Structure 1
């Protein structure tokens, strides 16, 4: 994408956002990181302490629900990475159309309008999710999930499965984003990570981190809900974002996924790794032989991207998350008590 090196990252203080900022700074980019409150040291300190942050990082106040709130941060940028998302919707069980419209839908459209105004943005990389792909009639009539599929919104409203409101929000928003991109000449690619695992640099946990450490912390409910899902290492997710921004041939939607989540296999491995934790290895109501339909990253790999962590077991990814948790909990136990809700739209 040429020699221009100024980009904006929304949701920069969150799990994926902060790791993406870290990788961009390491590669010499000047990063404009948008956060809700740049003055909240507890939520931005981990960004300011990153290598090259003193010379290549600036913090900008912006919120998804505020029209035009991203204008200043995006003006003059050659690239925009839209990572911010209302993750609190994952744990909501009631209809939330107002939240879906005010944050997820209006948020992406507001950011795209800011890109149009700037006239400098060469590409928008939008962090979607495999959730916009994998909700299909059961059993799915496919052997793998690909970018050609869209999740069935009516099915979400009918069954109200775990995380259904988040799936609805992201699906509606992504479809609207593609429509805007086509009508307004925005060069956009979307990245669709599955469950993101691995180390984190935030001072708090989020939903995917909580799932990864749940067997270790004995709060197994969250990982049980995700049994049979696909997963990916956070580092691969962030490197894929940058790869798709820089590659002039990138076009359309890209699944970013490399592992399957089998709670029985993960639990067995973790019980050996942490024998003092009495990690359970049997889970009532779950099928140990459940078939996992993979999310195919063939399109991404055909473009030339290589997964650095593909050869690891899913349990290895959980161990990396657990070790990050142990390190941070030993330094500041109170910070690990902050719920995922506090980091939503960060």
Structure 2
């Protein structure tokens, strides 16, 4: 019970990765203050209250990314903060309002609140590999991507990659503010996260698997590398617990590409639609930092896929 007596805040707690972070924190003995936009929306929050330890050690708080000071009550007195809340979408009619503002302003809102309370020892921000992979010229099979790679915002603008831009600007702002204000900040950079769902609705990253099962090619999929949601969530918690953890951590299984996922799905669904060749961007990923500093081991991707599909069926999300 690593978290016995410790109080932490998880923002956007009803989301996919966040729900798993809450679950694992509760299992480790933490008291969790979970922020959501609509605490009274039982459909979105009910799954959190079914988690082991929730009755005794989970409390919901109303907070909005764009509402200054709305995280104050939840963060006051916390030992740590996991900031996961940020919109995920690859399409946007008004990118500034739909993606960029909530990501950047929301992150600053949370960090400015953290700076006010000396109880907060460390902040973990969920970023994305989208803040690492966006650059020109494209990667080649010999390129080895690690935490020293940074997306070029101009490339995002040029390519109209609004989600990547929102995450890149938010991460940049977070790092800058934390340095200026003495906040111990760690940035997690997950790829496409899959695995069983705790929440009742389909999220973007697991939607990629549903698309593949239905014979559709997901947008921007040639960039994707995958990782189990349980491993990603544990990596977040280890980044909080291990004193020497620092900087950024790529959260992907380097051996699993979109082609591998497609092959495995064909084994699990022999009559799968869409025989089209799945083109993936060829590049290598180095995750030595996550493995050596956080001690993360990967769930075999076949087990992850089986659990994802079982979960989708159970929640009637597979059409």
The 8 Å contact of residues 77 and 121 in structure 1, kept in 2 or not, is answered as yes
Whether the aligned pair in 2 keeps the contact of 1:125 and 1:188 (CA below 8 Å) is yes
1:323 aligned to which of 292, 310, 314 = 310
The number of residue pairs the alignment matches comes to: 317
What corresponds to 2:233 in structure 1? 238
Per the alignment, residue 55 of structure 1 pairs with 56
Q: CA deviation at 1:282?
A: 2.1
- Higher-RCO chain (CA-CA 8 Å, sequence separation at least 6): 1
Mapping of residues 15-26 of structure 1, within 5 Å: 15-26=16-27
Task: Report the alpha carbon displacement of residue 302 of structure 1 after superposing the two structures with TM.
Answer: 2.2
Alignment match, 2:154:
154
Partner of 1:340: none
3-state DSSP class of the match of 1:282? Answer: coil
Partner Cα distance (2:238, 2:111) in 1: 21
Give the secondary-structure state (helix, strand or coil) at the position aligned to 2:20.
helix
Structure 2 residue runs of 5 or longer lacking an equivalent are: none
Pair 1:197-2:206 in alignment: no
Provide the C-alpha distance between the structure 1 equivalents of 2:303 and 2:210, rounded to a whole number of angstroms.
12
- TM-superposed CA distance for 1:4, in Å, is 4.8
The answer for unaligned runs of 5 or more in structure 1 is 338-346
| Worse-superposed segment, 257-266 or 224-233 | 257-266
SS at match of 1:87: coil
Q: TM-score, normalised by structure 2?
A: 0.92
Q: Cα RMSD (Å) of the superposition?
A: 2.2
Q: 2: CA distance between counterparts of 1:173 and 1:266?
A: 30
Aligned ranges 1:63-74 → 2 under 5 Å: 63-74=64-75
Aligned position for 1:134: 133
Q: Which moved more, 1:24-33 or 1:258-267?
A: 258-267
Task: Quote the residue 2:167 is aligned against.
Answer: 170
> 2-side partners of 1:118 and 1:303: how far apart?
27
Q: Which residue of the other structure, out of 206, 219, 224, is the alignment partner of 2:203?
A: 206
1 CA distance for matches of 2:210 and 2:243?
38
Aligned to 2:284: 294
Q: Offset at 1:294?
A: 3.0
Q: Does 1:181 align with 2:182?
A: no
Asked whether the 8 Å contact 2:216–2:274 carries over to 1, the reply is no
In 1, Cα distance between the equivalents of 2:180 and 2:4? Answer: 28
Change (3 A) 1:280 1:266: farther
Query: TM-score, normalized by length of structure 1?
Result: 0.85
Q: CA deviation at 1:81?
A: 0.1
Q: For residue 268 of structure 2, what is the aligned residue in structure 1?
A: 273
